[in-house]
Structure 1
Amino acid sequence: MKYLKEPFFWRLSQSESLEEYQPGGYHPVHLGDVIYPTSGVKTSRYRILAKLGYGGFATVWLAEDLVRKNQCVALKVNIARLTGRNNEVKILKTCSSLPQDQLGSAHVVRFLDAFEIEGPNGTHEVIVTEVVCGWYPTVVEASGDVDTRKICRDVSLGVSWLHGNGITHGDIHGNNIGFRVPRLSEISPDLALKNLKEVIGAQTCIAVVPKDRTYDTTHLPKYLVEENSGAVWLHGRLADIRPDDYCPVILDFGGAFRQADIMPQPYVPLVFTPPELLFEAGTLSFAGDIWALGCTLSQLLFRSTLFGRISNHTQLVRAFAKTFGPFPSAWLDASILVEAGIDNETIANNSPSLDIVSTEWAVTQTTLPWDEASRESPELAKLMKGMLQYLPQDRVNIHQVLLSPWLRVQLQDSKSITRPKSNSAFLEDSASILTT
């Protein structure tokens, strides 16, 4: 059935796509809904209070746990076509079963529950976790100065814990970093309900009304809630939190896998895509996480992505060439380079290298969010150079990242860092870590 080019009277710019409310897509969720397993014993019941956010594969909601009284949680409702096609629930259950006293475990989101629901668009996985704040810029605005290097170190510790337990995250970037703060654990449903008017009042809700009266509305929500309605309110409750109280946590394990698992289809945002996904067999590994972590550290530090605005793979490989120089010889015949009109001779004549990026950082060091930037910037550049090598086997491993001079994880702490269980190319002697 054909509809008008713009099928709806109103849209929200900061919300999920209405076209994705179709079989296989989003589940319609409304404020006040009670969500519980479609089949089996109804041991889980959650009342929707506010919207926390959305992504290409899920919507996320602040909810009241009706079984465990006086507790608020975050509900992630995945699109239906993901059900049974990724390892997210299995990985989160694995994480929750592992020892929680290992260094880095505190920097992975706390898993609470999971179940499936049936809706007009199919069967959806619902994942329940602790409530955390959204990503870095909003946190900084809510709290003032934050020790950015500590944030980078803590995120790296979380990656270390995952790798040490054989887990590749597969989708590390700034929007998958949340922040646990003490007062969130104090938010009761009564407090949330008391402030619900404030939550909704800070945002926009619009009715979903198709222009064509024959449009099938059975798959649609009655209205859309703008992104981060709940997050706006949460951040507003945090004005008296000290910057050191923020604990970064890694979220969204939809792309995660262990060595024994089938790797899910990668959905890495373009500017965080490691080169091997473009030039090789399309496999991810610990090294892919290291590349994405390097890009994420840049995002956390400078509040912008390392390669700027990139809209396609051709632009991305050109950005690689400009930043890192000639490509490995094994990749020179790759169709993506031919299409982009890139060859190593041209790249070499333009003398691109990470040193240029380092120089740019040094020039703009007055904007860097840490003290004594002139002294620390070269150490940061050395760390980034080790993380952002073209070939996966040439990148530093997460243990080396943590012991780099810029992150300064103390040697006495490094003994309790969980080293990766696999990928032997990364298990090099830590005595050589980024010190030459």
Structure 2
Amino acid sequence: MYYKTNPFSCIPDTISTSTTTMASSKSTLADIAVINEDNSIGRLKSVPRCYFEEYEVLQEQLSLYRQGYLHPVAVTDIIRPDVSISASRAQHAPSGYRILHKLGSGGEATVWLAQELDHLDRAVSLKIFSGHCSSAGEREARALKACVASPNTPGSRHILSLLDDFNISGPNGTHKVHVTEVVMPLMVLSRLLSPTSKTEVARDLARGLAHVHHCGFVHGDIHDGNVGCAMPPAFAREKIADMMSLLSSYDVTMVIPNNPAFHGPELPHYLLSACELLLVYESYNGLKAHQHAKLYDFGNARRAGEETNGTDDVRWAWPPPEAAFAYHGCNKREALPTMAGDIWCLGALILRLFTGEWILHDTSPACLLEQAKLDGVIPAAWREYWDTVAYLRDRSDQVTHENADVGWSKRRDYFMQKNPNVDVAEVELLISLLRRMLATEPEMRLSADEVLTYPWFAEGFGAPPDGPSPEPCEHNASVKR
């Protein structure tokens, strides 16, 4: 796979009032089941026809609920570790978690708002990996534990806190479960942030990435679906009942197979849309506070220089130029994540944060042209392949330093139009930083430490002088184990 769906990519800007969708099905999927010798129904081999239109469903695909894939979950379920396969879990860890609502979903996991059973007013995020993504779960846990918070490393506060991890068994196999703090995804929040707040977010993410690199790890998949902001301190102080009063709507699609015999334990009883977490964030004055940004979703993380583990592919949402070229120009060769690749992805994220621009528009070789035009350079290693692709070869004259200068000048002017009160010199510093981060050749990019010391981070958009990161909020401090 070239792109991957991240666990938070299905969080909508708004959630409709509670509904149940039922329509006569025109699905082409066949009802296929294993018929046992006693004529009982065995494990389904494919998704049965249901009383809803597949293309009308806004939640995850029902076909992901099968052996080796997603674990079926319902609100009020109690998720407890399977002690037989979670032997390394600390004895004093919580006994379990009750599901309250949904935070997001994707092909690799579902993510849930949950309540710790031993502390009923403690809300956490509970990520249940698909059965086929156990390697990603192991990589994420290893990286998060290596980057655990320390008073001597302020950058660690910009990494998601792993509070608990264990395994569960279900009808679709064994699943890794990670319990973390709740965060507000940046892809939902960014449109509401001021330039000053966006500078805070960019600085925090650069600090977090520098810490990850200092710990010897590569994140491997930075994009706006894998970063977010900590919930405001009031979120930890309020009672669960007050929070849930803001999330009282549940948008569901009932899973009702045409044939009653085919609703086995593999399928959920319903598909649930993500809650409108932004309502909670706004209600607890999150937009008026310092935006305490965090990196998360470390399923693609590796130790620097480490060979790939497991059988699952390295997948990217925003592949850096060297990864895109490996895929298109080297017969879909897998390019392992690198620190230089992390810098490119962070640069692409900062560019999108301030301008709304997508660097990558498709997964065809045309993306190589867009990446090369940013820097005005066609790498020498690309040239042989480049000349064999008519689309690229015929547009070679577009890749020049002069055209790159014009493109960045247009981005500067656009940003000034959107933010007329921002100083021109500060915008010039931001553009200069992004050009260094988005260099086509990996060796020409800044390191994470160099990004942090770049003048824009001291000057940027009314930001205060660089100092220590704010202390973790009361909730985060109280649940560290």
> Structure 2 residue aligned with 1:259, among 280, 295, 304?
304
- Give the total of aligned pairs: 402
> Structure 2 residue aligned with 1:161, among 190, 211, 219?
211
> Structure 1 residue aligned with 2:183, among 132, 156, 170?
132
Whole-angstrom distance in 1 between the partners of 2:205 and 2:395: 37
Secondary structure of the structure 2 residue equivalent to 1:290: helix
Whole-angstrom distance in 2 between the partners of 1:147 and 1:375: 18
**Shift in Å, 1:161:** 1.0
Q: Indicate the residue corresponding to 2:344 in structure 1.
A: 291
Q: Give the direction of change, closer, same or farther, for the CA distance of 1:253–1:112 in structure 2 (3 Å limit).
A: same
Matched, 1:348 2:375: no
Whole-angstrom distance in 2 between the partners of 1:244 and 1:189: 21
Whole-angstrom distance in 1 between the partners of 2:303 and 2:410: 38
**Shift in Å, 1:165:** 1.3
Contact 2:184 2:278 in 1 (8 A): no
> Structure 1 residue aligned with 2:281, among 207, 214, 235?
235
| Amino acid paired to 1:64 | Q
Whole-angstrom distance in 2 between the partners of 1:115 and 1:303: 38
Contact 1:62 1:230 in 2 (8 A): no
| Amino acid paired to 2:59 | S
Whole-angstrom distance in 2 between the partners of 1:220 and 1:298: 41
Q: Give the direction of change, closer, same or farther, for the CA distance of 1:369–1:215 in structure 2 (3 Å limit).
A: farther
**Residues 247-296 of structure 1, C-alpha deviation per residue, up to 9 Å, x if partnerless?**
11111111112137543532211xx2111113346122100100100101
Matches within 5 A, 1:127-276: 127-138=178-189, 141=192, 147-180=197-230, 181-193=232-244, 195=245, 198-201=246-249, 203-211=250-258, 215=262, 217-227=264-274, 229-238=275-284, 240-241=285-286, 243-259=288-304, 261-263=306-308, 265-269=313-317, 272-276=318-322
State the percentage of identical aligned residues: 27
Whole-angstrom distance in 1 between the partners of 2:305 and 2:458: 33
| Amino acid paired to 1:53 | G
Q: Indicate the residue corresponding to 1:73 in structure 2.
A: 124
Matches within 5 A, 1:23-42: 23-40=67-84
**Shift in Å, 1:341:** 3.2
Q: Give the direction of change, closer, same or farther, for the CA distance of 1:139–1:326 in structure 2 (3 Å limit).
A: closer
Whole-angstrom distance in 1 between the partners of 2:112 and 2:420: 34
| Amino acid paired to 1:162 | V
Q: Indicate the residue corresponding to 1:421 in structure 2.
A: none
| Amino acid paired to 1:150 | E
**Shift in Å, 1:231:** 1.4
Whole-angstrom distance in 2 between the partners of 1:337 and 1:31: 55
Contact 2:146 2:215 in 1 (8 A): no
Q: Indicate the residue corresponding to 1:424 in structure 2.
A: none
**Shift in Å, 1:152:** 0.9
Q: Give the direction of change, closer, same or farther, for the CA distance of 1:415–1:129 in structure 2 (3 Å limit).
A: closer
Contact 2:131 2:172 in 1 (8 A): yes
Contact 1:29 1:221 in 2 (8 A): yes
**Shift in Å, 1:120:** 1.4
* TM-score of the two chains, using structure 2 as the length reference: 0.75
**Shift in Å, 1:215:** 4.5
Q: Indicate the residue corresponding to 2:9 in structure 1.
A: none
Matched, 1:20 2:69: no
**Residues 9-28 of structure 1, C-alpha deviation per residue, up to 9 Å, x if partnerless?**
33565422211111221111
Whole-angstrom distance in 2 between the partners of 1:104 and 1:32: 36
**Shift in Å, 1:191:** 3.0
| Amino acid paired to 1:93 | K
Give the alignment's Cα RMSD to 1 decimal: 3.1
Matched, 1:93 2:142: no
Matches within 5 A, 1:400-411: 400-408=450-458
Q: Give the direction of change, closer, same or farther, for the CA distance of 1:415–1:68 in structure 2 (3 Å limit).
A: closer
**Shift in Å, 1:147:** 2.1
Q: Indicate the residue corresponding to 2:432 in structure 1.
A: 382
| Amino acid paired to 2:281 | H
Unaligned runs of 5+ in 2: 1-27, 32-46, 85-90, 327-333, 470-481
Whole-angstrom distance in 1 between the partners of 2:94 and 2:287: 37
Q: Indicate the residue corresponding to 2:325 in structure 1.
A: 279
Q: Give the direction of change, closer, same or farther, for the CA distance of 1:208–1:337 in structure 2 (3 Å limit).
A: farther
**Residues 174-201 of structure 1, C-alpha deviation per residue, up to 9 Å, x if partnerless?**
11111112222224334345x1xx4242
| Amino acid paired to 2:396 | I
Q: Give the direction of change, closer, same or farther, for the CA distance of 1:292–1:234 in structure 2 (3 Å limit).
A: same
* TM-score of the two chains, using structure 1 as the length reference: 0.82
| Amino acid paired to 1:274 | P
Whole-angstrom distance in 1 between the partners of 2:163 and 2:399: 52
**Residues 65-119 of structure 1, C-alpha deviation per residue, up to 9 Å, x if partnerless?**
01244311110111110114541111122222x5243131211111100001111
Q: Give the direction of change, closer, same or farther, for the CA distance of 1:112–1:349 in structure 2 (3 Å limit).
A: closer
Q: Indicate the residue corresponding to 2:413 in structure 1.
A: 363
**Shift in Å, 1:6:** 9.6
Unaligned runs of 5+ in 1: 417-436
**Shift in Å, 1:139:** 5.9
**Residues 298-350 of structure 1, C-alpha deviation per residue, up to 9 Å, x if partnerless?**
1211234234xx2323231232244333421122223x77346313x742356
Matches within 5 A, 1:294-309: 294-307=347-360
Secondary structure of the structure 2 residue equivalent to 1:333: helix
> Structure 2 residue aligned with 1:9, among 33, 51, 63?
51
Contact 2:109 2:128 in 1 (8 A): yes
**Shift in Å, 1:242:** 5.2
Whole-angstrom distance in 1 between the partners of 2:235 and 2:114: 13
Whole-angstrom distance in 2 between the partners of 1:29 and 1:340: 49
| Amino acid paired to 2:122 | Q
Contact 2:155 2:207 in 1 (8 A): yes
| Amino acid paired to 1:47 | R
